[in-house]
Amino acid sequence: MESGERPMTFGETAVGLNFNPSNDPNVQICKEIFARAIDQMNHLRTNIGCKPGQARHASAAITMLEDAQMRAVKAITWKTN
């Protein structure tokens, strides 16, 4: 990390925000959107006062968001023969 840069959030790390070999701006936008949603669920599940059921659903949502993000990037970068 360079001086002045902030560490990546949980969501940014989960979606691999800095991994975009093609430098496709649509991939970047997609990853940023999903990173924010994952961060929201992570904040909920790690917040004091979070009920066990809430934490379980937030964790499941994170897993599903990670899968959806990967499929969305696949859709964006889909190449036909």
Query: What would the pLDDT profile of 44-61 be if each residue is shown by its tens digit?
Result: 999 989 998 999 999 999
Assigned domain for 35 exists: no
Question: What is the CB neighbour count within 10 angstroms for residue 31?
Answer: 24
pLDDT on residue 79: 86
For residue 67, the enclosing domain spans 43-74
Distance of CA 18 to the CA centre of its chain: 11
**pLDDT for 4-24, tens place per residue?**
789 999 999 999 999 999 999
79 belongs to a structural domain? no
In the predicted model, is pLDDT for residue 1 greater than 60?
Answer: no
**Residue 58, domain member (yes or no):** yes
Which pTM value belongs to this model?
Answer: 0.89
Tell me the three state secondary structure of residue 69. Answer: helix
Number of domains in the chain: 1
Residue 3 scores a pLDDT above 70: no
CA 51 to chain CA centroid, nearest Å? 23
pLDDT score at 4: 74
Residue 62 within a domain: yes
Q: Is 6 inside any structural domain? A: no
